[in-house]
Structure 1
């Protein structure tokens, strides 16, 4: 299966090292979220993968080959890096037809991707009249045009309304389910939590985390346990007496640190206390991400 392999990738602009010795793999059959603060080097990395920027050191390959050596790149990798990169005077259909012709693709592919991206109804409108959300859909259509096995999307849901965001999420999941390698960057943590199978987090051009999404959020809960009981007050006293740290939560729940779920269950049973819920606390992706990148944020404001 085709995948993206990045090895020791480094890029400098003058005295600044924007991408610093990155190594990671984007596997086929899953959505890989590419996360990091503004200025972390995500877009520069994506540009190097598709040959729009030359690395100072290291390699980025697609299916074992550099982008520049692919005979018909659009059939190997589709990318949306800038939704504004379209001639405003062309209609959506003509823009895609021009891409198809230059890559030796059949015109029928244009109608296929217009339909899949919900653009068929506006195919004869000029791209210059489109909203940002419509330009995003057109850019996604262009990325899908060659039916590639690898797809790269940089902030693809910018400008999309809630329906469009859900559509984009479902599309990414469907593309991965078809066996494609999908790399997508986004600042919307709630969307990444629902979309990505694997996460690569970078800060100041370096890898901070390269892990399955479930492990990142699961490990960020600090080992806490959420407990709901028929008599939460008594349970809280018993847990505190046993050395646990107990905080009150929503819906009469307790958040317990310092004891495992098994230990809490045994203590409750010993004292004859009925439990309604006993589950590990999973931090949100946003919480885990902010904790990881706290030292890598370039610009930090102060709340009033």
Structure 2
């Protein structure tokens, strides 16, 4: 099957455990977003899947086989882990041609992937002069050379302009619609919200969530309610006593979680508190992610 299976994956460097007993599956036909704070172990996990790092314990397989056991790896799995891993003095065409020939792939695939990634017009230009965004596209083209059914992308939108980000979003979706398994990490939560079907979230090397985007938002992304009152301090105390969590918002507003808008309205009516605004706020994926991973941050800056 065209899946990635990670089972009990652990990686230690000396006394440090970077990936800790991690298990999840990337299914065919889905874009799986791989999320976690800096230092969570995402890149190390991807390297172990690709055979670039040896697990201390556990396993990572592609279609039931370890990467090292795949006869022609590029025909099974394609990956972009480092957009800078190109020979700068080669043209985009020659970079891909060298990969195709060395892996026994049809040279016709070079033109096909250049066209699909929008690089045909710069195929004869030296890759060393490419912007980071163009190198990202070239790395994606290389990942597609063998027409694999499993694809792994580490931060593929780095360096892309808004048009490029929009392109990569549609591109990832199209790969999944073709029945491929797509694993993609990104720090752009707004893009993951529009791209991923499924989420795997890790923190400090441990699994935090493995769920559909819909279920993740339902479980972790409950919205807040913006409240404005002529008596914000008094009403904040009433809300807290009723079990809500209250923080100060902009312009003397209150941001309330733990109670619905209807419950807040009833509480205000009971205590004869006049509300000038009562507006449910839809939580974003970023809000949900930050709340879920707040205890897994490697570095936490001070806030004013």
TM (normalized to structure 2)?
0.83
Residue number in structure 1 paired with 2:283:
283
- Runs of 4+, deviation exceeding 3 Å: 221-227, 243-247, 254-264, 278-282
Match of 1:76 in 2: 76
Q: Which residue of 2 is the match for residue 273 of structure 1? A: none
How far apart, CA to CA, are the structure 2 residues paired with 1:44 and 1:260? 41
1:5 equivalent in structure 2: 5
1:261 positional shift:
8.4
**Structure 1: runs of 5+ lacking an equivalent:** 228-232, 265-277
Taking a change above 3 Å as real, the CA distance of residues 279 and 71 of structure 1, as seen in their structure-2 partners, is farther
Alignment pair present for 1:131 and 2:109: no
Cα distance between partner residues in 1 of 2:53 and 2:13: 11
Shift of 1:107: 1.0
Per the alignment, residue 57 of structure 2 pairs with 57
| In structure 1, C-alpha distance between the alignment counterparts of 2:26 and 2:154, rounded to whole Å | 15
Are the equivalent residues in 2 in contact too, given 1:76–1:150 (CA < 8 A)? yes
Match of 1:182 in 2: 182
| RMSD of aligned Cα (Å) | 3.0
Determine the structure 1 residue equivalent to 2:272.
Answer: none
User: What SS does structure 1 have at the residue aligned with 2:17?
Assistant: strand
The equivalent residue for 2:140 is 140
Report the Cα offset of residue 89 of structure 1. Answer: 0.8
Q: What CA distance in whole angstroms lies between the structure 1 residues aligned with 2:77 and 2:262?
A: 48
2:150 maps to which residue? Answer: 150
Aligned match of 1:199: 199
**Superposed displacement of residue 263, structure 1:** 8.6
**Inter-partner Cα distance in structure 1 for 2:136 and 2:300:** 29
Shift in alpha-carbon separation, 1:244–1:43, aligned structure 2, 3 A: closer
Shift of 1:168: 0.5
Deviation per CA, 1:85-144: give whole Å up to 9, x if none: 111111000000011111111111100100010111110111111111110000000001
CA contact (8 A) 1:218 1:282 kept: no
Distance 2:243 2:48 in 1: 50
Mapped to 2, the partners of 1:279 and 1:207 lie a distance apart of 34
Task: Provide the C-alpha distance between the structure 1 equivalents of 2:142 and 2:15, rounded to a whole number of angstroms.
Answer: 36
The Cα offsets for residues 63-106 of structure 1, whole Å up to 9 and x where unpaired, read as 00000000000000000000011111110000000111111111
Answering whether residue 180 of structure 2 is matched by residue 168 of structure 1, we say no
State the shift of 1:222 in Å: 3.6
Give aligned pairs, total: 285
- Contact 1:40-1:205 within 8 A present in 2 as well: yes
Q: Spell out, residue by residue over 1:161-200, the C-alpha distance to the aligned partner (whole angstroms, 9 max, x if none).
A: 0000000010000000000000000000011011000011
3-state SS, counterpart of residue 193 of structure 1: helix
TM-score by length of 1: 0.83
Deviation of residue 282 (structure 1)? 4.0
